[in-house]
């Protein structure tokens, strides 16, 4: 017996409800492999955003992902650079001894230079300096010219050969090495530098000091501003300053030399550190 006209609307509604239930079941079964329209998904009680759009041509199934909310970042920071200085007594001297010779022919200049430098190296080794502490740092041959007034041009008058060695010596032996090299024939010097063998130890102390100074400065600024610090977001070593180097030029003399006075003093090992803190949100 069919539905009466009065019951027709109710039957139609039940039919639509059953059709919608079948559609939702199909959508739920296929949600991990196919696209689902926004309207159909919400009609089934699923208010989450659609996972993907229509699959690309060719039937390839897309990778399903769900959007994540982007976290807000606080970029308010306070930055400061601290300086640390550690003083140390040098225990290592680095000095340069050179020989310069000049002759009319290049081979002659080089030969004279080689013989003279051999004597200098032998004298340095005689002071207890090992081969590993001696290194050739410069070897050069130059033309020597002289201005001729009559010709109004430079005229070649000879050749100059230069050979320089770098010697690493304990500070208490440096004077003997220096004077022995000069007495043996060294007639030029590039410079003298003082250093410490365990430089890393003093460098780390300077870095610790610099970091402490930077943090204390940041805390002082935060207190003056009435804000609270959150966390360190950056700590960077700014630069490293090498030990001081002073130049000394001299010439060997024929008469007996007095001991050359040197004053090592103290080295200043300096480090700088840049630190940045974030500020807590109010």
The pLDDT tens digits along the chain (282 residues) read: 555 555 555 555 566 666 666 666 565 555 444 444 544 545 555 554 544 445 555 555 555 445 555 554 557 999 999 999 999 999 899 999 999 999 999 999 999 999 999 999 999 999 999 999 999 999 999 999 999 888 889 999 999 999 999 999 999 899 899 999 999 999 988 678 888 888 899 999 999 999 999 999 999 999 999 999 999 999 999 976 554 443 444 444 443 445 566 677 788 889 999 999 999 988
How far is 209 from 203, CA to CA, in rounded Å? 10
Ranges of each domain in the chain: 9-43, 77-87+201-240+274-279, 92-195
How far is 26 from 264, CA to CA, in rounded Å? 89
Nearest to 193 by CA among 137, 276, 155, 256: 137
Q: What's the confidence (pLDDT) of residue 254?
A: 41
Q: What's the confidence (pLDDT) of residue 36?
A: 47
Which positions ≥6 away from 205 have C-beta within 8 Å?
A: 84, 86, 269
CATH class of 92-195: alpha beta
How far is 252 from 179, CA to CA, in rounded Å? 9
51 DSSP assignment = S
Q: What's the confidence (pLDDT) of residue 95?
A: 92
- Residues paired with 121 in a beta bridge: none
Nearest to 185 by CA among 153, 210, 161, 213: 161
Q: What's the confidence (pLDDT) of residue 265?
A: 76
Q: Which H/E stretch holds residue 20?
A: helix 8-30
Q: Dihedral (C-alpha) 103, 104, 109, 115: value to the nearest 10 degrees? A: -60
The CB-based long-range contact list for 221-227 (8 Å cut-off, 24+ gap) reads 221/78, 221/80, 222/78, 222/277, 222/279, 225/78, 227/279, 227/280, 227/282
Q: What's the confidence (pLDDT) of residue 253?
A: 40
Let me know: does 117 contact 96? Beta carbons within 8 Å: no
Query: Rounded to whole angstroms, what are the CA distances from 140 to 100, 227, 271?
Result: 9, 63, 37
Q: What's the confidence (pLDDT) of residue 222?
A: 95
């Amino acid at each position: 017996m069919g539905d009466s006209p009065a019951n027709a609307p109710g039957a139609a509604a039940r039919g639509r409800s059953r059709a919608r239930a079948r559609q939702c079941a199909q959508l739920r079964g296929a949600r991990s492999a196919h696209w689902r329209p926004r309207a159909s998904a919400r009609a089934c009680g699923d208010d989450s955003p659609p996972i993907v759009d229509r699959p690309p041509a060719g039937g390839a199934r897309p990778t399903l992902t769900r959007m994540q909310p982007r976290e807000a970042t606080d970029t308010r920071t306070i930055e400061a650079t601290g300086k640390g200085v550690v003083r140390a007594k040098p225990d290592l001297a680095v000095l340069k001894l050179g020989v310069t010779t000049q002759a009319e022919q290049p081979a002659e200049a080089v030969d004279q230079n080689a013989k003279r430098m051999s004597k200098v190296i032998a004298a340095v080794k005689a002071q207890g300096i090992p081969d590993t502490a001696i290194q050739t740092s410069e070897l050069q041959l130059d033309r020597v010219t002289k201005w001729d007034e009559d010709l109004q041009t430079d005229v070649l008058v000879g050749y100059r050969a230069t050979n320089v060695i770098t010697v690493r010596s304990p500070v208490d032996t440096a004077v003997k090495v220096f004077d022995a090299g000069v007495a043996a024939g060294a007639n030029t010097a590039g410079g003298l530098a003082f250093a410490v063998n365990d430089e890393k130890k003093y460098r780390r102390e300077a870095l610790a000091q610099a970091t402490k100074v930077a943090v204390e400065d940041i805390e002082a600024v935060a207190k003056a501003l009435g804000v609270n610090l959150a966390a360190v977001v950056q700590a960077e070593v700014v630069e490293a300053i090498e030990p001081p180097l002073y130049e000394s030029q001299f010439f060997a003399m024929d008469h007996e030399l007095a001991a050359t006075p040197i004053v090592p003093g103290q080295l200043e090992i300096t480090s700088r550190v840049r630190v940045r803190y974030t500020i807590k949100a109010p």
